[in-house]
Structures are given as C-alpha cells and as structure tokens.
Amino acid sequence: MPKLRTLSGDDLLRILSQFGSTTHTQRGSHVKLRRVLANGTRQTLTIVAHKEVDKGTLHAIFRQAIRYIPESALAPFFFAE
C-alpha cells in the first residue's frame, strides 16, 4: 500500500481547489470547503488548517473527499509511490 504524504492545511486547500472547492467558512483552524455542481447540489468538506496534518486526520479527509471526487484523480496528491 502506498504511503500517505505529509501535507499541510494549505496544501489541502490548494489540492481541493483544483477540483472546484472554495472556502465557505472558517472557525479557528477548521475550514469548510464547498463545491456547487451544475445541478445545484452542494458538496461540503471540512479540513484543518494546520502546518502539518496528522496522518489519521489526513486519511479521514481523503476518505471523505472521495465521496465527491474520483479516488483515481485524488490519490496521486495524497499518496507517495
């Protein structure tokens, strides 16, 4: 199994913005990202804006994100080969 990369909150924001997510709100270190589809469906994902996101938290964010973004498109950003 590939290893998870070490990513920061800024890295996550940059990665997810490539898939159409924008910052909706922020409360402390938690940032809610929102993506609105053409049919009006809103997809919300909450991430942490830490300098280094813990591996377990990063894996949980990945699992949540693949509900909206295909795993094959997202995995190269999260996993090292």
What pLDDT does 1 receive? Answer: 63
CATH code of the domain in which 29 resides: 3.30.920
Residue 81 lies in a domain: no
Residue 13 domain boundaries = 3-74
What is the length of the chain?
81
Rg, Å, the chain Cα set: 12
Closest CA to 61 of 1, 18, 7, 22: 7
pLDDT tens, 2-43?
Answer: 899 999 999 999 999 999 999 999 999 999 999 998 898 899
Domains identified in the chain, total number: 1
Cβ-based neighbours of 61, under 8 Å, separated by 6 or more: 12, 45, 47, 53
Q: What is the pTM of this model?
A: 0.89
Residue 79 lies in a domain: no
